[in-house]
Amino acid sequence: MAAIILADTCISLALAQPAMKAQPFRKTTSRLWSLSKFCSSLMNVRGQRSYGTEVEKIGERPVLITGCDSGFGFQLAKHLHGKGFIVYAGCLQKAQGKGGSKDLDDMKSDRMRTIQLDVCSNEDVARALDHVTASLKNPEAGLWGVVNNAGISTFGEVEFTSMDTYKKLAEVNLWGTVRTTKAFLPLIRRAKGRVVNITSMLGRMASPARSPYCITKFAVEAFSDCLRYEMQPHEVKVCIVEPGNFIAGTSLYSSEGIKATAEKMWNEMPETVRQDYGRKYFDEQVAKMETYCQSGSTDLSPVIESITHALTSPSPYTRYHPMDYYWWLRMQVMTHLPGAISDRLYIY
Ligand SMILES: NC(=O)c1ccc[n+]([C@@H]2O[C@H](COP(=O)([O-])OP(=O)(O)OC[C@H]3O[C@@H](n4cnc5c(N)ncnc54)[C@H](OP(=O)(O)O)[C@@H]3O)[C@@H](O)[C@H]2O)c1
């Protein structure tokens, strides 16, 4: 078994190396370009995907990002703006004058355009589409990219989780992604542009006490794969970014949020479940979650660079895995080895 894991690790590491490193891009001279093409063809023989260089004249290409009030979305908006993109930064709390939109507006740049965008609202999405279409310099040239980043999370075992919670997460993470993508696809098709969906390592491997989140992220993976196949003839590239643990660097969880969720969950749980599991067990699970919410990397750059690669490389990867080696190896084992082995190694 050790030999299988070792072989799997070596093969997967070789394949994943470029995706983990999603490098910044530099303009190349035509000679360097030819050289890199030659090298990449050699690398392809070894089964690796080539690093791309920046698409021609990335310049002021327009992109829409959802969920820019905090976390990856907020940083990405600033990063892409710095690279010269015209950024439409969708913010959930813009209308209330809260969240990241204020900071982004304070940049006072014509290329940083914040818009009110709740991905669960048909009206917000329709208004955002009208706004983007009307403000594009050349609507016929379309919109270069949509980054479906908005998301929420929670925790709790299946028996602890209400149907409302399952639906709430799906409404944002899954249907929000589908709604936004469908609305903007005609513009993206015109640009022969990019759709970048932020899922998670939990969109590839499941975890106990995370079912409401996992099912939405697995679903977005499936949606993205179907869309990628459909968009291939239109020369639209669809990429998936599967971040690992960056909890400490984002607002996905907070200690107060976990406490509030736990209290609500306990109060709404069926009496039989409360009695069978008991408060002691429940509190232990909540405490584990509170520890988890302080874990992870505060450096979001691997995720930001992966998304940037997906938006700028002539040959972006299908999946990006910005995560540390522990989670990367666990994900490879969980997704490539038989469940009987991976469950025993990581779950039981
Ligand atoms: N952090 C991680 O470790 C991690 C790992 C894997 C995947 N991800 C994924 O990365 C994405 C970004 O999350 P993050 O980690 O950066 O957390 P975050 O800081 O909480 O950012 C998520 C953003 O989505 C926004 N949002 C929530 N509901 C929305 C809605 N209905 N419409 C529009 N925007 C909405 C939030 O707005 P408010 O702040 O105004 O509520 C927030 O700005 C999510 O899809 C998440 O699942 C995160």
Is any atom of ligand 1 closer than 6 Å to the C-beta of 72?
A: yes
Residue 197, SS3? strand
What is the structure's pLDDT at 55? 64
Q: Phi-psi category of 324—alpha, beta or left, where left has phi over 0 and alpha has psi -120 to 50?
A: beta
The tens digit of pLDDT for each residue in 150-159 reads 999 999 999 9
Most confident range (mean pLDDT) of 53-62, 189-198, 284-293 is 189-198
Instruction: Count how many Cα atoms sit within 13 Å of the Cα of residue 240 in the half-sphere of its side chain.
Output: 22
Model confidence at 294, in pLDDT bands (50, 70, 90)?
A: confident
- Compute the distance from residue 227 Cα to the ligand 1 centre, in Å: 22
Q: Are strands 319-320 and 62-65 parallel, antiparallel or unpaired?
A: unpaired
- Compute the distance from residue 348 Cα to the ligand 1 centre, in Å: 30
The tens digit of pLDDT for each residue in 2-19 reads 454 445 444 444 444 433
CATH code for the structural domain at 58-253+293-346: 3.40.50.720
- Compute the distance from residue 222 Cα to the ligand 1 centre, in Å: 20
Model confidence at 70, in pLDDT bands (50, 70, 90)?
A: very high
- Decide: 333 and 5 in contact? Cβ < 8 Å: yes
Closest protein CA for atom 25 of ligand 1: 67
- Decide: 38 and 60 in contact? Cβ < 8 Å: no
What is the structure's pLDDT at 56? 59
Is any atom of ligand 1 closer than 6 Å to the C-beta of 117?
A: yes
Q: Which of 124, 154, 173, 251 to mutate to test the pocket of ligand 1 (most atoms within 8 A of CB)?
A: 251
Tell me: pLDDT of 26 over 90.
no
The tens digit of pLDDT for each residue in 247-286 reads 999 999 999 999 999 999 999 999 999 999 999 999 999 9
Q: Which of 106-115, 235-244, 285-294 has the lowest mean pLDDT?
A: 285-294
- Compute the distance from residue 152 Cα to the ligand 1 centre, in Å: 5
Which atom of ligand 1 sits closest to the CA of residue 100?
43
Is any atom of ligand 1 closer than 6 Å to the C-beta of 71?
A: yes
Q: Which of 152, 220, 292 to mutate to test the pocket of ligand 1 (most atoms within 8 A of CB)?
A: 152
CA-closest candidate to residue 199, choices 306, 91, 347: 306
The pTM of this model reads: 0.88
Which atom of ligand 1 sits closest to the CA of residue 201?
6
CA-CA distance, 27 to 56, in Å (whole number)? 9
What is the structure's pLDDT at 188? 98
Beta strands in 184-343 (DSSP E): 194-198, 237-241, 319-320
Is any atom of ligand 1 closer than 6 Å to the C-beta of 16?
A: no
Is any atom of ligand 1 closer than 6 Å to the C-beta of 221?
A: no
* Range 200-223 average pLDDT: 98
* Range 122-145 average pLDDT: 96
End-to-end CA distance of the chain: 17
**Both tokens of residue 237?**
């590239």
H or E stretch covering 17: helix 2-21
Q: Which of 172, 250, 289 to mutate to test the pocket of ligand 1 (most atoms within 8 A of CB)?
A: 250
What is the structure's pLDDT at 58? 76
Average pLDDT score, the chain? 88
131-to-77, 81, 127, 214, 347 alpha-carbon distances in Å: 18, 19, 6, 33, 47
CA-closest candidate to residue 119, choices 128, 110, 111: 128
240 backbone dihedrals φ, ψ, rounded to 5°: -120, 130
213 in catalytic set: yes
Q: Which of 202, 214, 220, 252 to mutate to test the pocket of ligand 1 (most atoms within 8 A of CB)?
A: 252
What is the structure's pLDDT at 346? 96
* Range 220-240 average pLDDT: 98
* Range 327-333 average pLDDT: 96
Higher pLDDT, 178 or 38: 178
Tell me: pLDDT of 335 over 90.
yes
Tell me: pLDDT of 171 over 70.
yes
Q: Which of 35-44, 97-106, 196-205, 229-238 has the lowest mean pLDDT?
A: 35-44
Sheet holding 319-320, edge to edge: 112-116, 86-91, 62-65, 145-148, 194-198, 237-241, 319-320
- Compute the distance from residue 250 Cα to the ligand 1 centre, in Å: 8
Percent of the chain with pLDDT over 70: 84
Tell me: pLDDT of 27 over 70.
no
292-to-209, 295, 328 alpha-carbon distances in Å: 12, 5, 17
Higher pLDDT, 163 or 32: 163
What is the structure's pLDDT at 59? 80
- Compute the distance from residue 151 Cα to the ligand 1 centre, in Å: 4
* Range 169-184 average pLDDT: 98
Higher pLDDT, 328 or 39: 328
Q: What angle do CA 169, 311, 20 make, to 5 degrees?
A: 80
Residues 6+ apart with CB under 8 A from 345: 333
Catalytic residue among 51, 88, 166, 213: 213
- Compute the distance from residue 188 Cα to the ligand 1 centre, in Å: 23
DSSP β-bridge partners for residue 113: 88
What is the structure's pLDDT at 5? 47
H or E stretch covering 145: strand 145-148
CA-CA distance, 114 to 226, in Å (whole number)? 30
Is any atom of ligand 1 closer than 6 Å to the C-beta of 124?
A: no
Tell me: pLDDT of 145 over 70.
yes
- Decide: 119 and 177 in contact? Cβ < 8 Å: yes
Is any atom of ligand 1 closer than 6 Å to the C-beta of 99?
A: yes
CA-CA distance, 80 to 71, in Å (whole number)? 14
CB atoms within 10 A of CB 87: 27
